[in-house]
Amino acid sequence: MFVVFLSLVFSTIIVFSFVLFGITGLRIIFGLIFISLPFYIMLSKFEISESEKLIFAILLGLTIFPSLVYILGLLISFRIAIILTFLALMLMAFALKKYKLKIN
């Protein structure tokens, strides 16, 4: 039920951002979703509720992802830095999901 609610909320946000801001609004919303995705996958390792995972993933995506891209972008092109940072975070997320850490 929660997934249906989230799908409805995200589709409403996408439609309103397109109506209000055009293609730029769509790019911002999809960018927010893509930079939050690796952190959401990483947070699925912990036993927290779905809404907490979603909010923490968005906050981590808005803080850590741009910082890593900026640091890497000082050395190489920013477009390449964005792609490399996203791929590195996705690889890290899947590695964390695959290997279980035993925390007592």
Q: Which of 59, 55, 78 is nearest to 68 (CA)?
A: 78
Element of type H or E holding 3: helix 2-21
Counting the structural domains of the chain, the total is: 1
* SS3 at position 35: helix
* SS3 at position 1: coil
> Does the residue 104 lie in any domain?
no
> Does the residue 103 lie in any domain?
no
The whole domain housing 43 covers 2-98
> Does the residue 35 lie in any domain?
yes
> Does the residue 42 lie in any domain?
yes
Residue length of the chain: 104
What is the per-residue pLDDT across 38-67, written as a single tens digit (0 to 9) for each? 888 888 888 888 888 888 998 998 999 999
The angle formed by the CA atoms of residues 27, 20 and 58, to the nearest 5 degrees, is: 45
Write down the pTM of the prediction. Answer: 0.75
What is the per-residue pLDDT across 3-21, written as a single tens digit (0 to 9) for each? 788 788 888 988 998 899 9
